[in-house]
Amino acid sequence: MIIHEGLSEKLNIRFPVVTSGTFDGVHIGHQTILKRIKDLAIKEGGETVMLTFWPHPRIVLEKESEDSLQLLSSFEEKAEKLKQHGIDHLIKIPFTKSFSKLTSQEFIEDILIEKIGSKVLVIGYDHKFGKNREGGFESLQANADRYGFRVEEISRQDIDDIGVSSTKIRKALQAGDVELAKSFLGEYYELNGEVVQGERLGRTLGFPTANLSLDFKHKLIPKDGVYAVYAHVGGKKYRGMLNIGQRPTVSNQGKKSIEVHILDFSSDIYGESMRIDMVSRVRDEQAFKGKDALVEQLHRDREDIEKLLDEQTK
């Protein structure tokens, strides 16, 4: 997959089959559209094109969202998923206030036609574009004959039958239901970041942890609690138990942390990149009467998580 940073000049793409949108999370609803453009590109001997916007439009248009906005994927995470789903060209349009003032007609003429040379456009039934979200399927259809492209709309029924949206996934994660989120995403919800040095409190309990500093500040973090996870580091996959929260038994700082105890692992991985796949929530985070009670619970958690992850491999 080729990633194009903006559109300063006309691209040389063979029979471009195009879709556009934010595609946060690249969930199974989005995947319906991606499969369609891939099928069309194969049929026409063309190439698939995804046009997306970064930063997220809400960050630019709604000042209050800068600190509160929570997204399912960073640009890098989204790009990797789009690559897996057969996108040949990913065009990253810098979303600015100036760009937001582009009319739907200007978007069609200047970007879809002049810069990309679109031959087929596939959009979801509720897709809107251009200033004040004025453009949609009708405006594309009105320009199709004039500019020599055709447009397809994925119907409301096709999308609604799937019963998935980015909003539903966010609500599931905020409730800690990572299994429901997986059913909507088609894969585990992931957290990506760098392993950083923490307070090393886990070592004193016999459960050393890797503290994860997320790469993306707008990444939605699931509800506090203890989770069964897979940890990917150094090109290998490990089983792990993850805690999200403030560690009330051993810390009084009140600062949220994301830390994983990797089962049967003892290497030094400070500074390395790690991906966490969220498998299942085991319990709430809670305060214990003392460290001994906490250690007892951690041993029970480990047993529960080992059994749960064993079931995943059957």
* CATH code (residue 267): 2.40.30.30
What pLDDT shows up at residue 65?
63
Say whether pLDDT at 218 is over 70. Answer: yes
Residues 9 and 65 in one domain: yes
Tell me which of 286 and 71 has the higher pLDDT: 71
In sequence order, the β-bridge partners of residue 151 are 121
Residues 141 and 278 in one domain: no
pLDDT above 90: percentage of residues in the chain: 66
Which H/E stretch holds residue 145?
Answer: helix 137-147
Residues 130 and 245 in one domain: no
In a domain, 274, yes or no: yes
Of the pLDDT bands very low, low, confident and very high (cuts 50, 70, 90), residue 289 is confident
Final residue before a domain boundary, out of 164, 196, 212: 164
In a domain, 294, yes or no: yes
Mean pLDDT to the nearest integer, 196-225: 82
Domain limits for position 207: 187-312
Residues 212 and 280 in one domain: yes
Say whether pLDDT at 81 is over 90. Answer: yes
In a domain, 177, yes or no: no
CA separation for the pair 114, 180 (Å, rounded): 42
DSSP 20-37: ES--TT--HHHHHHHHHH
Q: Euclidean distance between the first and final Cα of the chain, in Å?
A: 34
Of the pLDDT bands very low, low, confident and very high (cuts 50, 70, 90), residue 285 is confident
Say whether pLDDT at 109 is over 80. Answer: yes
Tell me which of 101 and 201 has the higher pLDDT: 101
Q: For residue 140, how many C-alpha atoms fall within 13 Å in the half-sphere facing its CB?
A: 26
Of the pLDDT bands very low, low, confident and very high (cuts 50, 70, 90), residue 200 is low
What pLDDT shows up at residue 56?
85
Q: Is the dihedral of CA 235, 241, 247, 250 positive or negative?
A: negative
Helix or strand or coil: residue 63?
Answer: coil
Residues 270 and 145 in one domain: no
In a domain, 44, yes or no: yes
Helix or strand or coil: residue 232?
Answer: strand
Mean pLDDT to the nearest integer, 121-138: 88
Residues 238 and 270 in one domain: yes
Query: In the numeric block, which tokens belong to residue 92?
Result: 């990253």
Q: Is the dihedral of CA 288, 290, 296, 302 positive or negative?
A: positive
Give the number of other CB atoms < 10 A from CB of residue 157: 9
Say whether pLDDT at 189 is over 80. Answer: yes
Say whether pLDDT at 79 is over 90. Answer: yes
Taking a C-beta distance cutoff of 8 angstroms, is the pair 245, 286 a contact? no
CA distances (Å), origin 133, targets 9, 24, 102, 129, 284 = 25, 18, 10, 5, 41
What pLDDT shows up at residue 265?
84
Closest CA to 131 of 57, 220, 223: 57
Q: What letter represents residue 297's amino acid?
A: Q
Mean pLDDT to the nearest integer, 266-270: 84
Query: In the numeric block, which tokens belong to residue 80?
Result: 């990797």
For the whole model, what pTM was predicted? 0.90
Number of domains in the chain: 2
* Mean pLDDT, the chain, whole residue set: 89
Cis check for the bond before 55: say yes or no (omega within 30 of 0): yes
Mean pLDDT to the nearest integer, 191-208: 76
Cα 154 from chain centroid (whole Å) = 22
Tell me which of 47 and 156 has the higher pLDDT: 47
What pLDDT shows up at residue 122?
95
Helix or strand or coil: residue 310?
Answer: helix
In a domain, 251, yes or no: yes
Mean pLDDT to the nearest integer, 10-36: 94
Mean pLDDT to the nearest integer, 174-201: 91
- Looking at residue 221, the DSSP 8-state letter turns out to be P
Mean pLDDT to the nearest integer, 100-121: 95
In a domain, 154, yes or no: yes
